[in-house]
Chain A
Amino acid sequence: MLYFLRKTGLFVLTLWAAVTLNFLIPRLQPGDPAEAIVQKLAGQAQQVDPEQIRAIRLMLGVPDTSLWNQYWDYLNALVHGNFGLSYGYFPYSVTHMIAEALPYTLTLVGVTQIIAFVAGTGLGAWAAWRRNTKIDSFISLGSTFLSTLPFFWIALMLIYVLANTLHWFPEGGAYSGEIVPAFSSGFVADLAYHAVLPALALLITGSIGWILGMRNNMVQSLGSDYTRLAVAKGLKERRVAWTYAARIALLPNFTGFAISLGGVFGGTLIVEQIFSYPGMGKLMYDAIGNRDFPLLQAIFLITTVAVLLANFLADVLVGVLDPRVRRQSS
Chain B
Amino acid sequence: MTEVETLVPRETPPDRPAKTVKRRNGWQVVWSNGKARTGIVILALFVAVAVCAPVIAPFNPKDSTLPPGLQPGGAYLLGTTNLGQDIFSQLVYGAQVSLIVGLLAGVVVTLIALVIGLVAGLLQGVVDEILSFSINLALVVPALPLMVTIAAYSPVHGLSLIIFVIALTGWAWGARMKRAQVLLLRSQDFVTAARFSGDGLWRIVFRELVPNMVSLVVAGFMGAAIGAIGAEAGLSFLGLGDPSTVSWGSMSYWANSNGAMLTGQWAWLLAPGLALSLLITALTLINFGIDALSNPQLREE
Q: Which A residues lie within 8 Å of B152 (CB)? A: 287-288, 291, 293, 296
**Cα A25 to Cα B165 with chains together (Å):** 12
Interface residue tally of chain A, by bracket? 35 or more
A159 touches B276 (CB 8 A): no
A164 touches B284 (CB 8 A): no
Q: Which A residues lie within 8 Å of B266 (CB)? A: 160
Contact residues of A between 287 and 330, Cβ < 8 Å to B: 287-289, 291, 293, 296-297, 299-300, 303-304, 307-308, 311
Asked if A91 is at the interface of the complex by the 8 Å CB criterion, the answer is: no
**Cα A149 to Cα B284 with chains together (Å):** 12
Interface size on B, residues (CB 8 A): 42
Q: Which A residues lie within 8 Å of B234 (CB)? A: 150-152, 266, 270
Instruction: With a 10 A CB-CB cut-off, give which of A148, A164, A267, A287 has the most chain B CB atoms.
Output: A148
**Cα A25 to Cα B264 with chains together (Å):** 42
User: Measured between C-beta atoms, what is the minimum distance from A221 to chain B in Å?
Assistant: 19
Q: Which B residues lie within 8 Å of A14 (CB)? A: 133, 136-137, 140
**Cα A266 to Cα B280 with chains together (Å):** 19
**Cα A33 to Cα B150 with chains together (Å):** 12
Q: Which B residues lie within 8 Å of A122 (CB)? A: none
Partner pick for B149 among A25, A152, A289, CB 8 A cutoff: A25
Asked if A3 is at the interface of the complex by the 8 Å CB criterion, the answer is: no
Instruction: With a 10 A CB-CB cut-off, give which of A33, A156, A164, A274 has the most chain B CB atoms.
Output: A156
Partner pick for B273 among A153, A284, A285, CB 8 A cutoff: A153
A156 touches B269 (CB 8 A): yes
Q: Which A residues lie within 8 Å of B280 (CB)? A: 148
**Cα A266 to Cα B272 with chains together (Å):** 21
Contact residues of A between 124 and 177, Cβ < 8 Å to B: 144-145, 148-153, 156-157, 159-160, 164
Those 4 A-B pairs whose CB atoms lie nearest each other, nearest first: A266-B144, A153-B273, A262-B142, A148-B280
| 6 further interface pairs, Cβ-Cβ under 8 Å (given A14-B136, A150-B277) | A33-B153, A148-B278, A150-B273, A266-B142, A293-B152, A304-B142
- Interface positions of A (Cβ within 8 A of B): 10, 13-14, 17-18, 21, 25-26, 29-31, 33, 144-145, 148-153, 156-157, 159-160, 164, 259, 261-263, 265-267, 269-270, 273-274, 284-285, 287-289, 291, 293, 296-297, 299-300, 303-304, 307-308, 311
